[in-house]
Amino acid sequence: MNFEADLNLTLRARYPLIYIPSAEEERVEAVITNVAKSLGRSVFVWDFVDGYQSNPTDAGAGKRNPLQALEFVDKIPKGAVFVLRDFDRFLDDVAIARKLKNLARKLKSEAQNIIVLASQINIPDSLSEFFSILEFPLPNPSELKIEIEQIANSTNSANDLQLNKQAIDDLVRASQGLSLERIRRVLAKAIAENNCLRPEDVELILEEKRQSIRQTQILEFYPSTTEISDIGGLDNLKEWLLRRGGAFSDRARKYGLPHPRGLLLAGIQGTGKSLTAKAISHHWHLPLLRLDVGRLFAGLVGESESRTRQMIQLAEALSPCVLWIDEIDKAFSGVEGRGDSGTTNRVFGTFLTWMAEKTSPVFVVATANNIRALPPELLRKGRFDEVFFVGLPNQEERSQIFAVHLSKYRPHNTRAYDIDRLAYETPDFSGAEIEQGIIEAMHIGFSQNRDFTTDDILEAASQIVPLAQTAQHEIQVLQEWAASGKARLASRQNVFNK
């Protein structure tokens, strides 16, 4: 059911108090007006500065007085919808709360509704049972296409320029996840610069999208140039990913394939889990969104849950995309024992439900270092397509990792290094520790005004104490967990052999 049909049903069912969290005031009010008119109801819009504005005879009523705005409702006969902008700011007032409760009883019998329109959910506990929340979605591709075609036709026709279907589709795809107001602003900027819309304006839209995501302070638009070939070893994991490379295509939908759900990468720090998330995005040509789970948790009651819903809405609006959740174990470890009045449980529950029921093409890549700290519900089949264990690289994989990093730092001189010797002399080193050893060797060579050598790398490596030694017990626990068959091994060869 879309929002318009949901609102229609809610109004007809005589829900007295409705709460719509959205920053798109103009668009929401247009939908409310259309639905109300289809039901033969009048619409009255109030804000704190101007009071009621819809009816000339009542213009200014309740101006700068939210209690008067509610008392005005008593004066209107049956069959009206009252839209109160930013009214969430006043819900904590005892007089406002009491008046709303009184009105809630009365409006059910009079086919009237109060709609609070606010940028985010901010309902005090005393009123939570009286309000019904309706989520207003960001514009879908069909709405975006209509808007962009209208703008293109009105501007480009004057310059005898026409955007072809592919250009329109590219602009629509780039605009997904933005509000109509933002899209209109960025397209106006493009028109002001070139007097028309061009296929190249996709970049302007993408930059606006990056700004929009940054402003949420929840998701980060993460540019990725990492390729699958930049990952040393992990052959089982790479084969699994390559097999699903076309799973987001129209051909896959016609074949009947469901969208891939996601992947949990568990294992030792510095073994390429985060690198894999970036490589998936680049190889599948999907935008990469990085979620810092800690940012979901806010100080105000109810705000954490609101941010979680906002994150889900934004990720789905930007789909198909890759949602990268780094170190998920730190966010949801010990969920039951958190002393935060159940906030973590509610956020975790919302996230789990979405993971299990989502049908949108959002591929979730979660990484975890301490898999035993994660709640068992997260590991159940249906949340992720697969759980992979990423262990310390064996000698052959270390050779591949050395080759990858040396080709990055010395692309024209890789053969000058004895890669087999380097791999043999660095047992228990992770990929991150191998790279750090090469960087330290570069400092040695640079300080002596010469290029670094194999011996420099070995000298640098001798000064590094690998995590396998400093956290030996924790790594052993992880390896035992993987050996018990609870996860697939990311490497073809036995990761427990040196």
Which CATH number does the domain housing residue 121 bear? 3.40.50.300
Task: Please enumerate in sequence order all residues whose Cβ is within 8 A of that of 473, keeping only pairs 6 or more positions apart, or say none.
Answer: none
Work out the angle between the directed axes of helices 431-447 and 454-462 (0-180°, nearest 10).
120
Among 162-166, 285-289, 382-386, 459-463, which is the least confidently predicted range?
Answer: 162-166
In a domain, 494, yes or no: no
Among 9-23, 410-424, 468-482, which is the least confidently predicted range?
Answer: 468-482
Whether 246 and 385 map to the same domain: the answer is: yes
Whether 237 and 382 map to the same domain: the answer is: yes
Whether 336 and 452 map to the same domain: the answer is: no
The C-alpha atoms of residue 358 and residue 287 are separated, in whole angstroms, by: 18
Q: Which residue has the tokens 């290029």?
A: 451
Give the model's pLDDT for residue 17.
Answer: 96
Cβ pair 374, 481 in contact under 8 A? no
341 pLDDT higher than 70: no
Confidence of residue 201 (pLDDT cuts 50, 70, 90): confident
Give the model's pLDDT for residue 298.
Answer: 60
Whether 34 and 155 map to the same domain: the answer is: no
Give CA 304 to chain center in angstroms. 14
For the segment 6-65, what is each residue's pLDDT rounded down to a tens digit?
Answer: 999 999 999 999 999 988 999 999 999 999 999 999 999 999 999 998 766 777 888 999
Whether 404 and 365 map to the same domain: the answer is: no
Q: For residue 409, what is the enclosing H or E element?
A: helix 395-409
pTM: 0.73
Give the model's pLDDT for residue 448.
Answer: 94
Q: Averaged over 212-216, what is the pLDDT?
A: 77
Task: Please enumerate in sequence order all residues whose Cβ is within 8 A of that of 182, keeping only pairs 6 or more positions apart, or say none.
Answer: 208, 212
Last residue of a domain, one of 216, 239, 258: 216
Cβ pair 294, 331 in contact under 8 A? yes
Query: What is the total residue count of the chain?
Result: 498
205 pLDDT higher than 90: no
Q: Which range, 127-141, 190-204, 257-271, 432-446, is most confident?
A: 432-446
Q: What is the largest CA-CA distance in the chain?
A: 89
The C-alpha atoms of residue 295 and residue 291 are separated, in whole angstroms, by: 8
Instruction: Look at the chain and report how many structural domains it folds into.
Output: 4
For the segment 254-281, what is each residue's pLDDT rounded down to a tens digit?
Answer: 899 888 899 999 888 888 888 898 899 8
Give the model's pLDDT for residue 442.
Answer: 96
Whether 342 and 256 map to the same domain: the answer is: yes
Spatial CA neighbour of 429 closest among 389, 403, 394? 394
Confidence of residue 83 (pLDDT cuts 50, 70, 90): very high
Return the DSSP state at 483: I
Cβ pair 295, 325 in contact under 8 A? no
In a domain, 212, yes or no: yes
Give the model's pLDDT for residue 159.
Answer: 56
Task: Please enumerate in sequence order all residues whose Cβ is within 8 A of that of 204, keeping only pairs 6 or more positions apart, or say none.
Answer: 186, 189, 190
Whether 235 and 384 map to the same domain: the answer is: yes
Give CA 157 to chain center in angstroms. 37
Q: Averaged over 146-175, what is the pLDDT?
A: 79
Confidence of residue 495 (pLDDT cuts 50, 70, 90): very low
342 pLDDT higher than 80: no
**b/e map 62-81, b = 16+ CB within 10 Å:** bbeebeebbebbeebeeebb
Give the model's pLDDT for residue 247.
Answer: 87
Give the model's pLDDT for residue 370.
Answer: 81
% of the chain at pLDDT higher than 70: 94
402 pLDDT higher than 90: yes
Whether 58 and 97 map to the same domain: the answer is: yes
Whether 308 and 409 map to the same domain: the answer is: no
In a domain, 8, yes or no: yes
In a domain, 119, yes or no: yes
Cβ pair 388, 487 in contact under 8 A? yes
Domain residues for 178?
141-216
Q: For residue 481, what is the enclosing H or E element?
A: helix 472-481
% of the chain at pLDDT higher than 90: 36
Across 226-314, the runs of DSSP E, i.e. the strands, are: 262-267, 288-291
Among 58-67, 204-213, 317-326, which is the least confidently predicted range?
Answer: 204-213
Classified as helix, coil or strand, 252 is helix
Which CATH number does the domain housing residue 401 bear? 1.10.8.60
300 pLDDT higher than 80: no
Q: What is the dihedral of CA 186, 187, 193, 196, to 10 degrees?
A: 170
- Measured in Å, how far apart are the chain's first and last C-alpha atoms? 56
Q: For residue 488, what is the enclosing H or E element?
A: strand 488-489
Strand 321-325 to 288-291 pairing? parallel
- The overall average pLDDT reported for the chain is 86
The C-alpha atoms of residue 45 and residue 22 are separated, in whole angstroms, by: 16
Q: Averaged over 163-181, what is the pLDDT?
A: 84
Among 184-193, 421-430, 455-464, which is the least confidently predicted range?
Answer: 184-193
